[in-house]
Chains A and B, each alone.
Chain A
Amino acid sequence: MVNLVIVSHCRRLAEGVKELADQMAGPGVQIGAVGGIAGEDGGWLLGTDAAAIAQTVQDVWTPAGVLLLVDLGSAVLSAEQALELLPAEMRDRCLVSNAPLVEGAVIAALEASLHHTLEAVNRAAEAARQFDKVMR
């Protein structure tokens, strides 16, 4: 099964999105959450850290592939840098999704639980970009 990594500038947001996605995923789907930068006072600052993202991908690594769902802006850059830190054979089975974070994570978790491929899971998640929340 494809596994997921949730990347946000905010640690609590990443963990919250993971909580939501976990409810949609079967027991077989592993979801990692990574976000924020460790502050000097032991707290968390807003930001993304390529090394921490790479570690989280390795934590949930599976040959079926890992889909990274990111919040915005530099999270994309950090996720792409993180992939550069990984061995090529891992990097080749990782994908940074263009999906919106919340909808994308929920859909990807469900699609992954149905044993769909990395590409199919990402396609379903990215379809959320055309999704109208409110019918008018």
Chain B
Amino acid sequence: MEETAAACMQVTIHHPHGLHLRKGKEVVQLAGQFKAEITAQNLTRSSPVVDAKSILQLMQLQARQGHILRLCAQGPDAEAALASLVALFDSSPAEQAEQP
């Protein structure tokens, strides 16, 4: 199989409660729609690289407001996966009034 380099992007957590459970759910549900392997790392905490399709692993990032995550995707639909996930994180300011 042909190995392609992973595409990566950084996102900032905007929500006052950080990457909370329900947001994590949205990330897992969105990531699960793509074939690409998708990983996330909390650069602010120098966390391990985790599987973005696992809610447990996402919660282990302990991502708080202002933290920067590095999302990487590798696979046929990697670019589309990253674009969708970045859009999901960027939608955070609109939900600031929401409860976690």
Interface set of A (CB-CB < 8 Å, partner B): 23-24, 103, 106-107, 110, 113-114, 124, 127-128, 131-132, 135
Contacts and interface: CB of A to CB of B under 8 A. Distances in A.
A44 B54 CA distance: 37
A114 B21 contact: no
Contacts of A114: 28-29, 32
B14 to A, nearest CB: 21
A22 to B, nearest CB: 12
Contacts of A132: 60
Interface string B40-71: 00000101000000111001101000000000
A114 B55 CA distance: 12
A124 B59 CA distance: 14
Contacts of A128: 56
B21 A24 contact: yes
A124 to B, nearest CB: 7
Contacts of A127: 54, 56
A107 B22 contact: no
Dominant secondary structure at the B interface: helix
B56 A131 contact: yes
A103 B56 contact: yes
B60 A124 contact: no
Contacts of B45: 135
Contacts of A23: 21-22, 25
A88 to B, nearest CB: 33
Nearest to B22: A23
A26 B87 CA distance: 21
B21 to A, nearest CB: 7
B66 to A, nearest CB: 17
A106 B55 CA distance: 9
A51 B28 CA distance: 36
Interface centre among A23, A106, A124 (most CB of B within 10 A): A106
A73 B76 CA distance: 47
